[in-house]
Amino acid sequence: MSELLAIETAQQRILAALRPIGSEPCRVEDCAGRVLAEDITSPLALPPFDNSSMDGFCLRAADIAAASTAAPVVLPVSADIPAGAGLPAPLPAGSAARILTGAPLPPGADAVLPVENTDQYGKAGQALPQTVACLAPVKAGENVRRKGEDLQQGQRVLKKGRTLQAQDVGLLVALGFAQVAVMRRPRIAVFSSGDELLTPGQPLAPGKIYDSNRYVLGALLQDAGAEVLQLGIAQDTRASVEALLQNAVAQAPDLILSSAGVSVGVYDFVRQVLEENGALDFWRVNMRPGKPVAFGQYQGIPFLGLPGNPVSAYIGCLVFVLPLLRALLGQPAAAPRKVQATLQEPLQSPDGRESFYRGILTRSGEQTVARLAGHQGSGNLFSLVQANALLIVPAGVKTIAAGESVTAWLLDEESA
């Protein structure tokens, strides 16, 4: 019997074995969801020039200080300034210019009187009037968007390590970037193992089940920014496992990730092949579910073998692979999405292994309360679907009584 490794130790050993990954250029249209590999400093001020925030007439506020509906101030109209116009000429003293939203403000103008407050309201598409009657005053600076009011040239606007969101992409484009450096996606080769496994679409047969793990792992990894190389299913023979690993190696992934075949069954060839043809670092971790987690390398490529039971594989991926991906992508560890909740029923871990129960958190008045979600067998996926949290019994703790506080790891946000 080899020792049971603490989760944290196992995480560190895995992390230490992985090589850092580099960056690559990425076009802005493809960079949402990617991790920025450089700090972005603004080459421009935004807005890049003073411009109008309204359709109306730009002028000097002082010229129409006394304007009202009863006593309009009439100004000559000296120019028409549509959006996209080049640098406008200075505004002659005592005049107004028709201006549209987003158009550059001419030197000399200090405010924009909205068209609603003029006699030109409702006359869109008409020729430039010779005069405009101003029906209200406007304050200096009103309806003008100043150059640099959003951000200054030279300001750091996006930090290396940030996962780019839609609005970040918008900002990059607004600043004139056509491409940026992003972290290369970690390439993870994924396979399942077991003679009982069928691919979705195949008819179900006696003694067979569908291979759900590969799809769960694929979805988790993809969400976390990895490139997933799906390798299929290894049969429970040494030759089939070896062939699959060979296939994985040929694609030079950053990590090979498998499920099943790493426990103590006579057909558990994955661990055996690793032990004999590669190197096994550890294969038992002090957790439940998911004790048989094998880690090592195969022909120089880090290999992680998760347990076969679907809930164990899922939790193994959350605990070992997702934090690893963040580290590879140069991101700080995710803030733990953990809350305290009051248990409505007791939780046990008789052998003191760190245990993850599928739980359902609900609000009860001021309190968050926790109960178990469905049957807790580690093969039961539906209880995981119903759960919104994992309730944690820490290592060394054998029981948490009803009414006591439990740490709950929120699942909804975790997979978001």
- In the complex, which residues of this chain contact ligand AMP (CB under 6 A)? 192, 194, 196-197, 209, 211-214, 259-261, 263, 265, 307-310, 379
Dig out the tokens for 278 from the structure.
């590669």
- Count of residues for the chain? 416
CB of residue 14 to ligand AMP, shortest distance in Å:
19
Non-local (6+) Cβ contacts of 70 within 8 A are none
CB of residue 299 to ligand AMP, shortest distance in Å:
23
Count the site residues for Mg ion by CB under 5 A.
2
**One-letter amino acid of 399:** T
d(CA 172, CA 231): 36
- Pick 212 or 297: Cβ nearer ligand AMP: 212
Q: Which does 142 bind (CB under 5 to 8 A by kind): ligand AMP, Mg ion, none?
A: none
Q: Which does 379 bind (CB under 5 to 8 A by kind): ligand AMP, Mg ion, none?
A: ligand AMP
**One-letter amino acid of 177:** F
- Pick 313 or 328: Cβ nearer ligand AMP: 313
Classify residue 161 as left (phi > 0), alpha (psi -120 to 50) or beta.
left
In the bound complex, which residue of the shown chain has the CB atom lying closest to ligand AMP?
A: 308
CB of residue 316 to ligand AMP, shortest distance in Å:
11
Q: Is 260 in the site for Mg ion (CB under 5 A)?
A: yes
- Pick 84 or 200: Cβ nearer ligand AMP: 200
Dig out the tokens for 139 from the structure.
């304050």
- Pick 143 or 259: Cβ nearer ligand AMP: 259
Closest CA to 321 of 131, 189, 157: 189
Closest CA to 174 of 205, 138, 150, 208: 150
CB of residue 268 to Mg ion, shortest distance in Å:
6
CB of residue 264 to ligand AMP, shortest distance in Å:
9
d(CA 394, CA 290): 15
Q: What is the DSSP string of 137-170?
A: ---TTTTEE-TTSSB-TT-EEE-TTPBPPHHHHH
- Pick 52 or 309: Cβ nearer ligand AMP: 309
DSSP, res 121: T
**One-letter amino acid of 279:** A
Q: What is the footprint of Mg ion within residues 349-388 (CB under 5 A)?
A: none
CB of residue 23 to ligand AMP, shortest distance in Å:
33
Contact status, residue 89 vs residue 79, Cβ threshold 8 Å: yes
Q: For 25-53, what is the HEC assignment? A: EEEHHHCCCCEECCCEECCCCECCCCEEC
- Pick 22 or 203: Cβ nearer ligand AMP: 203
Q: What is the footprint of Mg ion within residues 184-243 (CB under 5 A)?
A: 194
Q: Which does 137 bind (CB under 5 to 8 A by kind): Mg ion, ligand AMP, none?
A: none
Stretch that binds Mg ion, among 102-110, 121-129, 259-267, 401-409 (CB under 5 A): 259-267
Q: Which does 72 bind (CB under 5 to 8 A by kind): ligand AMP, Mg ion, none?
A: none
Q: Which does 291 bind (CB under 5 to 8 A by kind): Mg ion, ligand AMP, none?
A: none
d(CA 357, CA 347): 8
> Partners of 348 in the beta sheet?
399
CB of residue 265 to Mg ion, shortest distance in Å:
6
Could you give phi then psi for residue 86, rounded to 5 degrees? -70, -170
Q: Which does 197 bind (CB under 5 to 8 A by kind): ligand AMP, Mg ion, none?
A: ligand AMP
What is the contact surface with Mg ion in residues (CB under 5 A)?
194, 260
